[in-house]
Homo-oligomer: A and B are copies of this chain.
Amino acid sequence: MREILERALGKGREEVIYGETASYIPELGRVDKNQLGVCIYTSDGKKEAVGDYDVRFTIQSISKVITLAVALERCGFYKVFEKVGMEPSGDAFNSLIKLDLSNNYPYNPMINSGAIAIASYLTPIISFKKMLQITRRLCMDDDITLNTDVYLSEMNHISRNKAIAYLLESKGIIASGSVQESLDFYVRMCSLNVTAESLANFGLVLARGGIHPETGEQLLEEDVVQVVKTIMLTCGMYDGSGEFAVHVGVPSKSGVGGGILSVADKKMGIGIFGPSLDAKGNSIAGRSILRTLSKELNLHIFA
């Protein structure tokens, strides 16, 4: 296993130079793009980790998975999907076009508009502090904290997300007056510091249908986990989700911080950190690593 991991890491490392770190805020642009780490945590309790698996980075869009799961538990399926769809959009994650065109609702909870809408459903009923606790529990990582530098910098470059949020408000998708706190909640969730290991831990929770792999506690309802995994599969890798499903076939969610959370159902959780991104915003080495692992470990849903 360790050998396969090392090999996958080696192959992934060759891709690093073809990507770039995210540049929309200086805090992300400054990150060393050569960092690369992987952690896997299997159903039978084994954990393997190579490279920079314990380096902290911001979770970014991967937080959309946590927010969706919590919203499904607290607000219910009907409320969450009343005004947010479950369809891949075929467009970039921060596009406003579909939203303003024929379809009045955000396509799915993995794009910004959908995630901001869902944030607005949560802010009245759950505090960010509580969300942080839940995140720590799901990731089995008590050291997750808010990266204040990234949080503040994101809040200073929030124009496009503000545009999205106000458009949601104007269409009655989010409640009137809820833009500011929804965006604050959304950005805070994106600015949590995790590691590849935290993501592998969370991945295994999802792989096991919501059950804590050590304590056996049901952290998330099984139904909720099934929905979350399906949406990760169809919508989790931005507008490259379809191709990723063909080549890798493992429900995954990436973030522009360089992280990828992957869930080989019933088998293992995988966490990756590789901040060099491809043109669609996915970790370029991470993609390569997951392709190798899927092949060598037979992880594809239809393998």
The 8 residue pairs across chains A and B that have the minimum distance between CB atoms: A159-B170, A90-B90, A88-B88, A87-B242, A163-B166, A163-B167, A160-B170, A162-B166
Which of B160, B241, B243 interacts with A166 by CB under 8 Å?
A: B160
Among the 9-residue stretches A5-13, A197-205, A227-235, the one with 4 or more Cβ atoms under 8 Å from chain B is A227-235
Chain copies in complex? 4
CB distance from A164 to the nearest CB of B (A): 7
B-chain residues with CB within 8 Å of residue A278 when the two chains form the complex: none
Pick the contact of A245: B164, B230, B249 (CB < 8 A): B230
Report how far A90 CA is from B90 CA in the complex, Å. 5
Interface residues in A, total, Cβ within 8 A? 52
Given A100-B96, A166-B159, the answer on whether A85 and B234 have CB atoms closer than 8 Å is no
Contact of A91 with B by CB under 8 A: yes
Known: A87-B90, A90-B89, A102-B102. A226 touches B303 (CB 8 A): yes
Enumerate chain A interface residues (CB-CB to B < 8 A). 85-91, 95-102, 107-108, 159-160, 162-167, 169-170, 176, 179, 225-227, 229-231, 233-235, 239-243, 245-246, 249, 251, 265, 300-303
Interface of A is mostly: helix
User: Are A86 and B246 neighbours in the complex by a CB distance under 8 Å?
Assistant: yes
24 A–B contacts, CB within 8 A, in A order: A87-B88, A87-B239, A87-B241, A87-B243, A88-B88, A90-B91, A90-B98, A95-B100, A96-B96, A97-B100, A159-B166, A159-B167, A162-B166, A163-B163, A163-B165, A163-B170, A226-B303, A227-B246, A230-B249, A230-B300, A230-B301, A233-B301, A234-B234, A301-B301
Known: A162-B162, A230-B300, A234-B234. 12 other contacts (CB 8 A): A85-B243, A87-B241, A88-B242, A101-B101, A159-B167, A159-B170, A160-B170, A162-B163, A163-B166, A226-B300, A226-B303, A251-B302
* Distance (whole angstroms) from the CB of A176 to the closest CB of chain B: 8
A194 and B134 CA atoms in complex are apart in Å by 52
A166, A240, A300, A303, most chain B CB atoms within 10 A = A166
**Which of B179, B240, B242 is within 8 Å of A108, CB to CB?**
B242
Contacts of A243 in B (CB 8 A): 85-87
A208 to chain B: closest CB distance in Å?
11
A42, chain B: closest CB distance, angstroms? 18
Contact A249 B234 (CB under 8 A): no
